[in-house]
Structure 1
Amino acid sequence: MKIIKLKISGLKLIKTKIYKDKRGSLKEVFKKNIIKKENFIFDLMSKSKKNTLRGLHIQLKKKQAKLITVTEGSIYDVAVDLRLKSKTFGKYMSLKISHKDDFSFFIPAGFAHGFVCLSKTCTVYYRTSNYRDAKTEKTLAWDDKSLNIKWPIKKPLLSKKDKIGMSLVNLKKEL
């Protein structure tokens, strides 16, 4: 495994090896000695239909670092820097990830995260450094004009919560 730093401080690709043979493949996803500072304690998976957009979510009290791995299909993944003292506050990083890729996306605590499913279905595996706290979870509006995120679709399938996400200006008051 190898760490590749990205243009926003803290964001990383965790490059892995995929071992393939006639039976299929094996992919390493996590090694504690690669991401030493994080204590990942909670794993979850989401399955989505094409054009489903989940996010942009952030935990305010129990901040979470995340390691994102796609196990089926492909997604357009987005992390928005909401660390108040960061030089890149309000900036985002996006990338396409599929189950065929040889990397996972590491997102440190203090970022809002979301993705849209690009394939017929997709399954996303999250490894997180804290439990989800629904009471203090906030949603940043996926279509906030100030973020200028270049989503690959215009009319996503959204949950009730994601339809009423907060603007960056309003969410900043709660950080």
Structure 2
Amino acid sequence: MNILETPLPGVLVIEPRVIADERGYFMETYSARRYRDEAGIALPFVQDNVSRSRQGVLRGLHVQRRHPQGKLIQVLEGSVFDVAVDVNPDSPDFGRYAAVALSAADHRQLWIPPGYAHGFCVTSHTATLHYKCTDYYDPADEWGLAWNCPDLAIPWPIDEPILSERDRHHPGLVDLARRLREQDWKNSG
């Protein structure tokens, strides 16, 4: 397995070993021992999710404050433009992002540690994502960040994405930071 660092501390691109021949391929998508020893991912995973979306759908940017989820993301079908953003107002990397193209063809994974906002945009006809999470989803604890926040200037590969009603109304980075500070981000665990 090959591990690539991104501009954000702890956010990693993982290239699993793929054994391919004329019959197809085999790939180990997760091993607690290997991911701990080689990538430093030691948190237990408690929930697996699958998301399927059509081209142009953008989901995110989402984060849980009291129950932050680390996510190990892999595309099973299609391709996406995947983004992690540091939204901790006390972090020296606050407002920085890492953006990675992931596809079923390249088999790459993205590890996003707990506390980062996450979102993705589907760049193929459809895309199916699988992601392992280090904490349970809690809809009452979910916060969002505007996908098109000018303070971030993320180079999304789409100008007019298909968004959920909720994702249309997330605040920008400055407003989110103010709200998180009011809720005491540091002592949220």
In which range does the TM-score fall when normalised by the shorter chain?
over 0.9
Identify the residue that residue 156 of structure 1 maps to in structure 2.
161
Structure 2: which 5+ runs fail to align? none
d(CA) in 2 for partners of 1:88, 1:57? 17
Q: What secondary structure is seen at the aligned counterpart in 1 of 2:32?
A: coil
Identify the residue that residue 14 of structure 1 maps to in structure 2.
14
Q: Does 2:3 align with 1:3?
A: yes
- State the 1:20 CA deviation: 1.4
d(CA) in 2 for partners of 1:85, 1:31? 33
Identify the residue that residue 73 of structure 1 maps to in structure 2.
78
Q: Which amino acid aligns with 1:29?
A: T
Identify the residue that residue 29 of structure 1 maps to in structure 2.
29
Q: Does 2:133 align with 1:131?
A: no
Q: What secondary structure is seen at the aligned counterpart in 1 of 2:139?
A: coil
Which one has the bigger helix percentage? 2
Q: What secondary structure is seen at the aligned counterpart in 2 of 1:135?
A: helix
Kindly provide the CA deviation profile for residues 110-136 of structure 1, in whole angstroms up to 9, marking residues without a partner as x: 100000000000001110000110001
**How many residues align structurally?**
175
Identify the residue that residue 65 of structure 2 maps to in structure 1.
60
Identify the residue that residue 51 of structure 1 maps to in structure 2.
56
The structure 2 residue matched to 1:40, chosen from 33, 36, 45, is 45
Q: Does 2:93 align with 1:93?
A: no
Where does structure 1 differ by over 3 angstroms across 4 or more consecutive aligned residues?
none
Structure 1: which 5+ runs fail to align? none
- State the 1:157 CA deviation: 0.4
- State the 1:15 CA deviation: 1.9
Q: TM-score, normalised by structure 2?
A: 0.88
Tell me the C-alpha RMSD between the 2 structures.
1.2
Kindly provide the CA deviation profile for residues 55-81 of structure 1, in whole angstroms up to 9, marking residues without a partner as x: 000011101100010000000001001
